[in-house]
Chains A and B, each alone.
Chain A
Amino acid sequence: MSRIAARFDALRAQNRGALIPFLEAFDPDRATSAAILRGMPAAGADLIEIGMPFTDPMADGPTIQAAGRRGLLAGATLAGTLEMVAEFRAHDPATPIILMGYLNPLLAHGIPRFCDDAAIAGVDGLIVVDLPSEEAALLAPDAARNGIDIIRLVAPTTSDARLRQVLAGCSGFVYYVSITGITGTRSASSEDLAAAIPRIRRATDLPIAIGFGVKTPAQAAAVARLADGAVVASSLIETLAADLVDGRAVPGTVEKFLGQIQALANAVRTARHTNSEAA
């Protein structure tokens, strides 16, 4: 069983949702992002999403764009990101790692080689934003050969008919993009989510995580009641960015990031046992 499936099974047995925090590789530098990554499981991350910096992140808002720029300035490469994952994996055999990014750096690395290297490093899943199901054959065979899950995005614009096609090649979990928009901007209303999730649920047995616009502990808790996981990205990166001095980490930067994860984790862990209203 894959790490992702095992983790969601375990969480289901505990009747709680997953917190999936995000960090951008090498943001603001390699050592800081490696320290954040290392501290995430203890802070309450159930799965971890790592952004692979790209010069032209078309689905990302200003916060993640800036994180990517800082990462690239700090020397991020695909190989460097995989190295970071391998270091993490040496100490943590269980927490699933999902890489999120755009297609071109993967193509430059070579898709078969990238999938081989990612599997060796201990990567469990891939989210490639600009690779819709129409173009999926480019990546699917090499990912499958290496036991790497392809996590598909489902959007509010994805029709029921299209949903079947999108889910056909999806494994690990389904990532519901809760708004039509870029990362870190609006948040979906709980009414919209309450309508959207059962629609996807009817089409798949895979766990469903919700991302885009999940910012506060209250929002993460609301999401964890409706779905199987909450992805939190921009609000964490905003905290990091606000803490930097001249673009550099300062003492306490890592702790502040992890502290925010802890608050989110507490909210997610107790979400299904409390009746608090969604924010």
Chain B
Amino acid sequence: MTWSIQELTLDQNFAPLPNSLRHGPTTSGRFGDYGGRFVAETLMPLILELEQAWEAARADPGFQAELDTYLKDYVGRPSPLWFARRLTAHFGGAKIYFKREELNHTGAHKVNSCMGQILLAQRMGKTRIIAETGAGQHGVATATVCALMGLPCVVYMGAVDVERQQPNVFRMKLLGAEVIAVSSGAGTLKDAMNEAMRDWVANVRDTYYLIGTVAGPHPYPAMVRDFQCVIGNEARAQLHQAEGRLPDAVVAAVGGGSNAMGIFHPFLDDPDVRLIGVEAAGKGLDTHEHAASIERGRPGVLHGNRTYLLQDGDGQIEEAHSISAGLDYPGIGPEHAWLNDIGRAEYVGITDDEALAAFHLCTRMEGIIPALECAHALAYIGKLAPTMDADKIILMNLSGRGDKDIATVAKHSGAAL
């Protein structure tokens, strides 16, 4: 059975309730005490210009129609909802459904926001695109939409990530992007973002900064979220069709938090739906090698927004660690920080080893090689599902495919490629 995007999302586009949790952010970009616009004066006028352009675009039915066409015919939306029958039987509890974002063009959810932002960049008359990337999925998606639109693209990527995500680096180059390895700091996503912001401040007139996650200065957290909400809107409608009801829990991995926010947000006003974000616990939450900003961080300001950060007592940002390059970030989107504080979403940790085990399990039992990012979500489901009755439903965002990770997995399994 096929649905059109319009059919799937139409009934979800109701106005939020007066007491909805979906109204944020405020005009100053706040979700509770989080978010904001903490950027240098040089960038401030650009952020305000972007906000205006985004407000105008989202109110323009023509913009949405154009985006929908690209999402359907180019990205391949809607992505299917898959009942993971064998994993459900294996864990022995709640029914597990995968939202198959890994089947999107470019192999992850990142393209949803890239498609929206590239159309916005064109509306704004920008002629050069820059992006940061961790696992390379956002870089590949950005390079892809730039190739599609014929725009030059520069992707900043930490030197360590360049090393561990070689296939994606080559993919970006094939697509015509210039990939700049960033060796400052630990050479991961945080440092790539610093360097992208430095590029932006030096190229303010022609350059659009295409941020990949629900972080950064306002309006990025809200804008990226809105573009990613297609995931949750579709899943909600698809699950309704399959089961006639809402899920009992929605589980997604969180680094910056875009795939989780995309699937959480359409369920925020359904109090009976548990929302669970899975942070990378790396080598353990009580070691110094993890990326669990909410569970082990404190609020602070980095990359334009106030949110939970891994930092020392003096406010210096600490390096994150995760086997998954996409989760290797010492912060988290500000709306997640707020959802945590008000208790609407829960955040838990999964270690490298647990994620690796789930990676193998998913590959063998469902014939789906998941990205190491979403293997974290699945590993938590392995703990959660057996505690729930068989008539309960867990919805997981299978946000990316794992082809990019096979070298990492081979290394950790002691296998030669």
Residues of A within 8 A of B (CB): 54-59, 61-62, 65, 72, 77-78, 102-109, 129-135, 152-159, 162, 166, 177, 179-182, 185-186
Partner of A109, one of B36, B46, B197, B315: B315
Is B316 a contact of A54 with CB atoms below 8 Å? yes
A-side interface mostly: loop
13 interchain pairs, CB-CB under 8 A:
A55-B316, A56-B185, A56-B303, A58-B40, A59-B40, A105-B315, A109-B314, A129-B40, A152-B41, A155-B40, A157-B43, A157-B45, A180-B203
Q: How far is the CA of A133 from the CA of B37 in the complex (A)?
A: 10
Q: How far is the CA of A106 from the CA of B314 in the complex (A)?
A: 8
Known A-B contacts A104-B300, A153-B41; A134 and B315 likewise in contact (beta carbons under 8 Å): no
In the assembled complex, B311 has its CB within 8 A of some CB on chain A: yes
Known A-B contacts A55-B185, A107-B301, A108-B300; A157 and B314 likewise in contact (beta carbons under 8 Å): no
Residues of B within 8 A of A (CB): 28, 36-46, 184-185, 190, 194, 197-198, 201-205, 298-304, 309, 311, 313-317
Is B45 a contact of A103 with CB atoms below 8 Å? no
Among B204, B298, B301, the most chain A Cβ lie within 10 Å of the Cβ of B301
Query: A78-B315, A104-B309 are known contacts; what are 16 more A-B pairs with Cβ within 8 Å?
Result: A54-B315, A55-B317, A58-B194, A61-B198, A78-B314, A103-B301, A107-B300, A132-B38, A134-B36, A153-B40, A155-B40, A158-B45, A159-B45, A166-B41, A181-B202, A185-B202
Known A-B contacts A104-B309, A108-B313; A135 and B185 likewise in contact (beta carbons under 8 Å): no
Is B317 a contact of A104 with CB atoms below 8 Å? yes
Q: How far is the CA of A104 from the CA of B185 in the complex (A)?
A: 17
Q: How far is the CA of A159 from the CA of B46 in the complex (A)?
A: 11
Is A104 a contact of B42 with CB atoms below 8 Å? no
- List 4 A-B pairs, minimum CB-CB distance, nearest first: A108-B315, A105-B315, A181-B202, A155-B42
Is A130 a contact of B202 with CB atoms below 8 Å? no
Is A72 a contact of B316 with CB atoms below 8 Å? yes
When distances are taken between beta carbons in the complex, the residues of chain B under 8 Å from A133 are 41, 44
Q: How far is the CA of A109 from the CA of B38 in the complex (A)?
A: 18
Partner of A132, one of B44, B190, B202, B205: B44
Find the B residue at minimum CB distance from A152. Answer: B41
Known A-B contacts A78-B314, A107-B315; A132 and B40 likewise in contact (beta carbons under 8 Å): yes
Taking the nearest CB of chain A, how far is it from the CB of B410, in angstroms? Answer: 33
Known A-B contacts A55-B185, A105-B315; A158 and B202 likewise in contact (beta carbons under 8 Å): no
Q: How far is the CA of A243 from the CA of B42 in the complex (A)?
A: 32
When distances are taken between beta carbons in the complex, the residues of chain B under 8 Å from A61 are 198
